[in-house]
Structure 1
Amino acid sequence: MYRTVKKLLLIGICGAIAFAGTWRLVNEAFWDGPADRQVSSSSLQDNP
C-alpha cells in the first residue's frame, strides 16, 4: 500500500512538472511567436 502511494506521488509530481513545462513552452510559442513573426515580416515587406 505505502509503495503504491509513493509511486503515485512520484508519477503525479513528475507529471505536474512535465505539464507545467510543456504549458509554458506552448504559451511562449503561441503568444510570443506569431506576434514577433508578424512584426518582422511586415517590416521586411515595407522595406524592400
Structure 2
Amino acid sequence: MGTGQAPVKRYDRALRDLIAGGRAEPGFVVSYEPRLYEAASAYEHFDNGRR
C-alpha cells in the first residue's frame, strides 16, 4: 500500500464523463458541503485533521 497525492490529471476527464453520463454518482463520499463563505475555515479544519 502506498500514500501520496492522487494522479488527478490521469483520471479527471474520464471521471467527469462518467458522472455527466450518469454512470457514476460520487456524492456518497461527500460528508460535508460548506458554503462559500465557510471555505477558509473548512480548509483550516481539513488541514488540522478535523471535520
TM-score, scaled relative to structure 1: 0.28
TM-score, scaled relative to structure 2: 0.27
Higher relative contact order (CA 8 A, sep 6+): 2
Larger radius of gyration: 1
